[in-house]
Amino acid sequence: MFRDYDIHTDLALEDKERFESDNVEISGVSVEEFVDEEREIRVTEVKILTENGAKSMKKPIGTYITMEMANLVLPDEEYHHEVAKELAKHIGGVLKLDKTDYTALVVGLGNRDVTPDALGPHTIECLNVTRHIVREYGKYAVEEKTQMVSAIAPGVMAQTGMESYEIIKGIVDTIEADVVFVVDALAARNTKRLNRTIQIADTGIHPGSGVGNHRNEISKETLGVPVIAIGVPTVVDAATIVRDTMENLVSSLDNNDKYEIMQDLIAPHLYGMFVTPKDIDESIDRIGATIAEGLNILFSQET
């Protein structure tokens, strides 16, 4: 394996797989896997339990749930509804609140003008927001029981001059939110997971980390309330494609020879290039609507 080439992934599952491929066990990390064969959904729960596990995985202590669905790219409304129900179940599983009625803020991170980064803003467009109705007419004004939900798509720093954290922190303090849900596009290590995977994490998120733009984290530590991150990998590092191709071609060589070949073939500028599928427009619309439906289901459930 080419560990010297530190290709980024936002998926905890892929970080764990990197160690497994080298036959390395990580202390302080547990993994459970569930497969729904009928709906073709594979769910992997990675729990980082200790500081040692966090250091090895390069991710905070917490729970990371990965839903893998090859059919997520298909325009099948019935299937996406099933995915939304499954998503609501797993988000509810990591949501630990000591109250049945709560105020939720849903944040759609990303740049709506850049399609692979528009997942967050598009999810917000499909979400049922209720805070203004409940405040004006009472909780019985809505058709069914629901939590008090607000939403914001704060844009990116180049558009606002502010970090997303600064905007979100101000809103959380003003509306006294009990929990924040953050939706964002991610980067993957495996091209097969693009637009086919949803990750849920109770550790918050670092905006822009997938493409090398490091901003203030959005987490319970910085906001003072639980933060549930929901992400879908929409881009992959171009160097990953080259590396995977070369690994197949030179599989018979030892690691030193592989490293020398990779060093010659991977141009430095590839490490700043990201690739997205050609049908990304349709995928963003479809998956954003599915995530919004999952959140709408969650907010209308009895807790």
Predicted confidence (pLDDT) at residue 74 exceeds the cutoff of 50: yes
227-237/197-201 β-pairing = antiparallel
151, with CB counted inside 10 A (0-12, 13-18, 19+), is buried
Does residue 287 belong to any structural domain of this protein? yes
Does residue 6 belong to any structural domain of this protein? no
Does residue 132 belong to any structural domain of this protein? yes
pLDDT digits (tens, 9 = 90+) for 220-279: 999 999 999 999 999 988 777 776 777 677 666 665 565 566 656 666 666 667 889 999
Question: In this predicted structure, what is the pLDDT of residue 252?
Answer: 63
Question: In this predicted structure, what is the pLDDT of residue 239?
Answer: 72
Question: In this predicted structure, what is the pLDDT of residue 214?
Answer: 58
Mean pLDDT of 19-34: 77
Closest of 129, 173, 188, 133 to residue 153, by C-alpha: 129
By residue range, what is the domain housing residue 35? 12-300
Does residue 4 belong to any structural domain of this protein? no
Bridge partners of 64, per DSSP, are 46, 201
3-class DSSP assignment, residue 212 = coil
Does residue 2 belong to any structural domain of this protein? no
Does residue 3 belong to any structural domain of this protein? no
For the stretch 281-302, what's the b/e string if a residue is b when 16 or more beta carbons lie within 10 angstroms of its beta carbon? eebbbbbbbbbbbbbbbbbbee
pLDDT digits (tens, 9 = 90+) for 110-162: 999 999 999 999 999 999 999 999 888 877 777 667 899 999 999 988 889 99
Predicted confidence (pLDDT) at residue 4 exceeds the cutoff of 60: no
Work out how many domains the chain is built from and give that number.
1
Question: In this predicted structure, what is the pLDDT of residue 15?
Answer: 79
Does residue 126 belong to any structural domain of this protein? yes
Predicted confidence (pLDDT) at residue 286 exceeds the cutoff of 50: yes
Closest of 195, 223, 95 to residue 147, by C-alpha: 95
Question: In this predicted structure, what is the pLDDT of residue 268?
Answer: 64
- The CATH number of residue 150's host domain is 3.40.50.1450
Question: In this predicted structure, what is the pLDDT of residue 256?
Answer: 58
Closest of 233, 230, 235, 202 to residue 293, by C-alpha: 230
Does residue 77 belong to any structural domain of this protein? yes
User: Which amino acid does the sequence have at 207?
Assistant: P
